[in-house]
Amino acid sequence: MKIIDKYITRGFIWPFLYCLFVFLFLYIIGDLLGHLDALVKQNIPFKIVRTYYLASLPFIFVQTTPFAVLLACVFLFSNLNRHNEIIALRAGGINTIRIISPVLLIGCAISLAVFIVNDKVVPDSAVTANTVKELYFDRNRAERGDRLDNITVFGRDGKLFYAREFDLKTKTLKDVVILVHSNNQVLKRKITAERMEWTGNEWRFYGADSFRFDKEGNVLGKPAVFRTPKLIDFNETPESLLKKQTQPDFMDYAQLRDYIHLLSLESKSTARKLLVDLHYKLAAPFTSVVIMLIGIPFALKRTRSKAMASMGIALIIAVVFYGANAVSLALGKGGLLPPLIAAWAANIAFAALGIHLLSKIRS
């Protein structure tokens, strides 16, 4: 069996790597053509373009891997069928599950790799790619000016920072809210300000109010009111605020989990939406295995004339899977489904479909 396992493994690995490379290449070419106008008009240096696409590679890898897995599965088992090798293996007493088990194990390994890349590599690289895109590729930058809206930053020192508007030119923030939490994530202090300006080494607050809370969340005494400019300790520079803008794509699983806990103290509806993203960070890597379970039954069709039709049906089902997954996530963020179910519903439903189709294939 070791020889057969090596043969099947090799037959899957090379098509998978080839398809993955092709998808990465096509994705970059398509995106490059989409930004071609900005590249030419703004004369963007090659090293900037290189930095952007190198930083985008981890994200592209995560997005394209399931399709590479699907095509590699269909190619492998259709090819084995075409040469009657599946029939020979079954005649030798090897059932279907045993035949496909090496590929399923590889699929689990790929899912683990996708999870690691998505959790450890994508957040930092996404920050780099997003910064380059906003500074150089964004066509609406001229219309928007040097201004960013709805800045949110989560600090590891227990601070949660929000500003409605950030003027990059004057380094001024408007409608500011700062939440300070204890080590056990209990709200201790809340600072609001009409605006805050960077003096060069410190932040100056205007129209600031400071509230203190006890362990039960009750306000302690009267709020401290500052109607004249006030220097308040806030250990972030304008540059670090830009780099640390809080989005789910920019955080790993642990950071997003802690951020949701802090945010739930202020906005439970927003926290619920992010909770869907948190669960999906665990569910998304298993897409490769689910897609594999869908594609294999169609690839094992015995007649040669149905090979292309089987591949087409598998691709259609994969597209339907992504559509169902998007609907499920939307229902979860809208509060119609629990976050855990919304994140895993498509995976479970289509994995069950794939297992059912496999069970109908004679051993």
pLDDT per residue as tens digits for the range 345-356: 999 999 999 888
Average pLDDT over residues 14-25: 94
pLDDT for res 323:
92
**Other C-beta atoms lying within 10 Å of the C-beta of residue 3:** 7
pLDDT in tens, 278-287: 999 999 999 9
pLDDT in tens, 66-95: 999 998 988 888 888 877 888 888 877 788
Please, which pLDDT band fits residue 209 given cuts at 50, 70 and 90? Answer: confident
pLDDT for res 37:
80
pLDDT in tens, 148-200: 777 777 665 667 777 888 887 788 888 888 887 776 667 788 888 888 888 87
- Which is more confidently placed, 21 or 221? 21
What predicted TM-score, i.e. pTM, was given to this entire model? 0.75
- Which is more confidently placed, 59 or 248? 59
- Which is more confidently placed, 310 or 219? 219
CA–CA dist 282, 298 (Å, integer): 27
pLDDT for res 175:
87
Mean pLDDT taken over the chain: 82
Q: What residue segments make up the domains of the chain, in order of their start? A: 2-138+278-359, 156-243
